[in-house]
Amino acid sequence: MSDSKPADQFFDAAIALLQRARDEEAENIEAAGTLLADTVATGGRLFAFGAGHSSLAAQDIVYRAGGLALMNLLAVPGVVGVDVMPATLGSALERVDGLASAVLDSSPLRDGDALVIISLSGRNALPVEMAMSARALGVKVIGVTSVAYASETKSRHVSGTYLKDHCDVVLDSKIAIGDAELTLDTIPAPFAPASTVVTTALLQAVMATAAASLATRGIEPPLLRSGNVDGGHDWNSRVFEKYGDRIFYRH
């Protein structure tokens, strides 16, 4: 690491990754946004799933001011975020075979829906099985992952495959193995992860693309407004009423 401050180094690393994602994933972002718009236009529902810290990016596009009201969180108990105690249990659950299928069996997901699956490594049983099982139901899958893991790590799914192998569209976050951008001679481990910054930006770019794609078809995107601006609650109430049968986070 150079003589510049660690904070500056992190910002530089994050900005470089964002630029790579913008330039190298433009086609995939367009494809993912179009897929979501197609789903909305044909009456389908939208879902997002991520385990552990990957759940942060999923939550960022659910019930979000400026976001599509139809995006729902597909929650797996003990896996969403680090609220489970002990936090290490969440990591263990990601490696449990059969958990994804059990969750999908009791979820509202159906043929014609779309599911965004976020997994940095894409190697654990949960995201791989989630993608495989969802596609078997007729659900379109968008995967957000670091493709590098597939060539440098071993899959933990019985099939030996990764999330990227079971998606209709894959977004590569470009994050290096280990998800830590900085090193320092006086610190024995790399530090400062950037996966949340990049993954969230990728997904917001996809959501923006979806909204614009709907608008070009003459369909008003079902967007939410901030409850902290005047008229926001009234606006959202109308959206909820119109699309209530496709919104599950209010039940």
How far out from the chain centre does Cα 32 lie?
11
Residues 37-73 pLDDT 10s: 999 999 999 999 998 899 999 999 999 999 999 999 9
Residues 237 and 5: their CA atoms lie apart, in Å, by 47
Tell me what the pLDDT averaged over the chain comes to. 94
Residue position matching structure tokens 């119109």: 242
Residues 77-96 pLDDT 10s: 888 877 788 888 888 888 87
Residues 91-112 pLDDT 10s: 888 887 888 899 999 999 999 9
How far out from the chain centre does Cα 100 lie?
16
Give the pLDDT mean for 188-194: 96
Which strands form 169-172's sheet, in the order they lie side by side? 71-73, 46-50, 114-118, 140-145, 169-172
**Cβ–Cβ < 8 Å for 214, 220:** yes
